[in-house]
Structure 1
Amino acid sequence: TLFAQVVDEDTTRWASQDLGQPTSSWAEGELQTVQMSLPLSPDTPGKVYPIILGLYTVADGQFNRLQIIAEDGRPTDDFLRLTLLRVTP
């Protein structure tokens, strides 16, 4: 499943949404288009936050984020930083 989140440096989630169809229903090479909204928690402090995207699977009740693999084959992170969001009080 694809997820989008607004998080802070402590990984507190101020907004989160799972998007689209589960990845298990995707065909290899198929392109996915997703529209989303990420409503922020009303008590979100004013500052700049990254919006991150990632993929996860669920096995035995555990959420497992999928690793991003660099071109050289080494694992990097389990999310992609999409952009920054400035929240004003």
Structure 2
Amino acid sequence: MTQQLPHPDDLSDAELAEQAHAWRRLALRGDRTARAPAHAYETALRERVRASMAAELIANASAAAPEPKRPWWRRLWPLSADERVTS
């Protein structure tokens, strides 16, 4: 009977990173049976990081005030008359 691996959803972020690192280390040392668990844990870790970053970006975007619309020529000449250096 083979040992049952913990499911990525049952692990915390630190435990998941530790498992991914340990399995990848075994796979790099030549253990072919460690390739699949290493890939699975790394993929779960990437998905978790991607989801948390997306949630953070959405929260920041909804909390930020919308920028006022600017005329098209302001994109070409962004400095106002006060900021321009004329000498």
Bigger relative contact order, structure 1 or 2, given CA contacts below 8 A and separation 6+? 1
Q: TM-score, normalised by structure 1?
A: 0.24
Higher strand proportion, which one? 1
Instruction: Select the structure of larger CA radius of gyration.
Output: 2
